[in-house]
Amino acid sequence: MRTRHISVIGHVIGVLVIWIGLMYPASAAQASWLDRVKDIYQLPENVEQIQKDYEATKQQLEEQKDKLSETIRHSQETEEKLLQQNEALQKENELLQERLKAMEQVAIDKENRNRKITNMVIAVVVLVVLYFVLGRVFRYVVWRRQKRQMR
């Protein structure tokens, strides 16, 4: 009977402890302990959410990596095209420079030829004028000598 009595007293004490625990507010240590227990049960949900977020972030990173690779490839293609255009333009520029030099040389040659022709025409005109002037002077001198001799 004594064991029964002790057992009943143990049950009464247990009920009192539970009743006192429910009646008084929980301390901060007990609240954090309960929060930890709740967190432990919610942890699989959090891990799953974190894992989903990780996978989504990983997928976004892969997409951005692919986009970056595509952008780099596109910029390299554009750079190659621009280099080819630059080379073509340089060759065209060299040809144009050669043509310009040839045209300038033609203009210089034409100017020199025109100057020579002008000088030759002036020389011919001067010679013709000089011929007539000398002819007149010679006739005058001859006329004067003849006039003196006749006197």
Supply the mean pLDDT for the chain.
84
- The rounded distance, in Å, linking the Cα atoms of 149 and 140 is 14
What's the half-sphere exposure (Cβ side, CA atoms, 13 Å) at 55?
Answer: 6
pLDDT, residue 100, reads 97
> Residue 52 — very low, low, confident or very high, per pLDDT cuts 50/70/90?
confident
- pTM, two decimals, is 0.44
Interval 82-115: pLDDT, tens = 999 999 999 999 999 999 999 999 999 999 999 9
pLDDT, residue 150, reads 78
Average pLDDT value for residue range 105-134: 96
Angle CA 95–101–107, to nearest 5? 135
> Residue 40 — very low, low, confident or very high, per pLDDT cuts 50/70/90?
low
The better pLDDT of the pair 31, 85 is held by 85
